[in-house]
Amino acid sequence: MPRPVTKRIYLDAAAATPLWPTTRRALGRVATLWGNPGSPHAFGRQMRSIFDAALGASARLLNVRPDELVITAGATESANLAILGVVQTYHAAHGRWPHLITTQLDHPAVVAAAQAAGATVTYLPVDLRGRVSLDALRDALTPETGLVSIIAASNELGTIQPLRAIASLLARHGTATGHRPLFHTDAAQLAAWQRFTAAQLGADLITLSAAKLGGPVSAGLLFVRRGIKLAPVLHGGGQQAGRRPGTEDVAAAVGLSSALAETWHRLPLLVPRIRRERDRLRAAITSTFPTAVFHGDPDGLPSFLVVSVPGLDAQAAAAALDAAGIAVSTGAACTSSSDVFAGQALRAIGQAEAVGHTLRITLGHHTTRREIDGTCQVFPRVLRQVLDQSTRSRAILRVGQQLARRYAR
């Protein structure tokens, strides 16, 4: 049995990340205060001031207006608000449901919301690296297309999509309403590793998550370009221009703005360091398992290492690695535990045979060289042990089947 690492190593940063120290301190200060931002007294005014300052800080980073941002409880709510809000607004204005386009790799928050919206949905195919074809998008557009939602960077593969080219294509497409289709992107993963403005992405609606940035898991953001009408998913007091009613979550706004600022400040040094550590781990795996297959785009997010090993029981491997002190996943935390590595993603890139044999390893801002040193030593040994156990189990099963057939005769 491989000796466990002396300190647990967390390599599932695409699911959630530890708080930045600066963000932890900012949240600690907010935790000592109280009051409803909508109240007119001093307590309320103090909370309103903090909320507005945090929203303004995020707006400056994205180069947008504060009134174009909506604070939510996470990326799932942001994506749902974008999809359902646009669809319901379209239906109210035109008396019919719009046509929606998304991809086979998009987050369940987008896919499920599109399915629940009642609209016709087209799912774009992707290539072997997980990239969307512009020709396929062009062919899928119809006069009734009201919304296109394409994830900026895959939460399963780390593949980055050509958002500016997509936005340019949509800008030239006419519809029955006389307006081009709106464009939404889930940039939760991208924002952890690439700085951008809303204009640079070219999207009308952008989803962010603090959980991927070293912020609190309960904080999300939705950019809604000025002029876009968005029907609310929730109904209540009309806060945040009626798009997301309910008492404003001051801590969420502070946590997200702090994490976004800290992440983007550190990216110039963080990205090359994490890419080097990821590549070292990849080399260690390859040296032990020459038949290992790595999925996604090498030029995608620097933190992703998605690997399948023929014959490997991915769930057993993840459990064995956890016992050895290393946390990895078999796919996105948002997918069902019975859907190993969200088999849909592997099938979408033509790797159906890898379903059940694939691990998603994702580094984060917290990952150190020493942790990768430990992982390079332990990881291959654990996988070899799991493979050997699987081989013995299959051999025993074959012998049992042979005996059963013999005595059946």
Record the tokens describing residue 73, joined without a space: 């409880």
Buried-exposed string 132-143: b where 16+ CB fall within 10 A, e elsewhere: beeeebeebbbe
End-to-end CA distance of the chain: 41
DSSP-derived letter for residue 212 is: G
Q: What's the half-sphere exposure (Cβ side, CA atoms, 13 Å) at 164? A: 5
Secondary structure (3-state) at 327: strand
List the structure tokens of 275: 């890419």
Cα 405 from chain centroid (whole Å): 49
Q: Is 376 assigned a catalytic role?
A: no
HSE-up (13 A, CA, CB side) for residue 109:
25
CA distances from 152 to 84, 131, 188, 285 (A): 19, 10, 8, 28
* Residue 349 structure tokens: 């890139």
Tally of helices (H runs) and strands (E runs) in the chain: 11, 12
Active-site pick, 39, 334, 366, 373 = 334
φ, ψ at 221 (rounded to 5°): -145, 145
* 3-state SS, residue 22: helix
Question: Are the C-beta atoms of residues 105 and 345 closer than 8 Å to each other?
Answer: yes
Per-residue burial over 293-311, b if 16 or more Cβ lie within 10 Å, else e, is eebbbeebbbbbbbbbbee
- H/E stretch holding 338 reads none
103 in Cβ contact with 345 (< 8 Å): no
Contact assessment for residue 375 and residue 11, using Cβ atoms and an 8 Å cutoff: yes
Active-site residues: which are they?
Answer: 334
